[in-house]
Amino acid sequence: MPGPKRARIIVVGNEKGGSGKSTVSIHLIVGLLRAGLSVGSVDMDGRQGTISRYLENRQAYAERRGCSLPVPEHVRLRPPDGNGSGETDETFSQKLMDALEELGDRHDVVVVDTPGRSDRLTRLAHAFADTLVTPINDSHIDLDLIGTVDPETRRALRPSIYSELVWEQRRERAVRKLPPLEWVVMRNRIRSMDTRVAREITEILANLAKRFAFRVAPGFGERQIFQEMFPQGLTLLDLREADTGMSFTMSHVAARNEIRLLLNALGYALDPKD
């Protein structure tokens, strides 16, 4: 296990693929950097490598344009391929623990982007989380990741496998006399319209939060801009330095505010000019 560290470890986790974990991770990383913090980052889904590619694009853009963009100290881990070649679970586990220990000694915050699956390695990452951020798409299907809900009363009936995983990590941290794991669930790809389904999800999430002890954080709307800036490795917090020539619309202002609100929910504040 990693030794004493000063960094807060934020794990972005969700067993379901397509929930927007990498989008949340990269915006957390840049937002924390913009808040004046020293940041380390770990890409556990190194085969797909979304945040690794994002950061590569970011460095290339800065060099090409001659501008200064903050970047984290980044570690990309390539998981075992399952066919007997490459790394084993044991070597991957050791590399993950080494990365968390080394980055934790050097930085204020370490952000870990996990793959959308449940395995021993993903559980290991959750074991080190001081804060777990779980993005879920704004749908009844994704709510099932948290727990089974009575369709009539909208009350939680029983936890999902993922909620049980979180509970196990909380229990383990208590045994090790570590601070309690903070679980934050954020709604992602929220549609702007106030629909019956959206109101139902709000009510159900509030019930689930009471039952399974998590906080609901503001999430990101369904905005194409989050994907459009991937080739440059930029976020909406970078436009002043990046000099993209992009017209800043009200939609962009709203999207940037969503990033700010998520950081606020985690206890961080951006400079008002950002």
Angle value at C-alpha 74, between 72 and 79, nearest 5 degrees: 150
> Is it true that domain 8-265 has CATH number 3.40.50.300?
yes
pLDDT at 268: 94
Alpha helix ranges (H) inside the chain? 21-34, 50-65, 89-106, 120-127, 140-143, 161-175, 196-212, 225-228, 239-242, 250-265
Q: pTM for the whole thing?
A: 0.91
pLDDT at 16: 77
- Cross-strand partners of 73: 40
Closest CA to 217 of 181, 265, 253: 265
pLDDT at 214: 95
Instruction: Please provide the average confidence, as pLDDT, over all residues in the chain.
Output: 86
Residue that has been written with the tokens 């950097």 in this structure? 33
pLDDT digits (tens, 9 = 90+) for 198-226: 788 888 999 999 999 999 998 887 777 78
pLDDT at 240: 72
pLDDT digits (tens, 9 = 90+) for 72-95: 999 999 877 654 445 678 888 899
pLDDT digits (tens, 9 = 90+) for 157-200: 899 989 999 999 999 888 888 889 999 999 887 766 567 777 88
Residue 113 has pLDDT above 60, yes or no: yes
| Domain boundaries along the sequence of the chain | 8-265
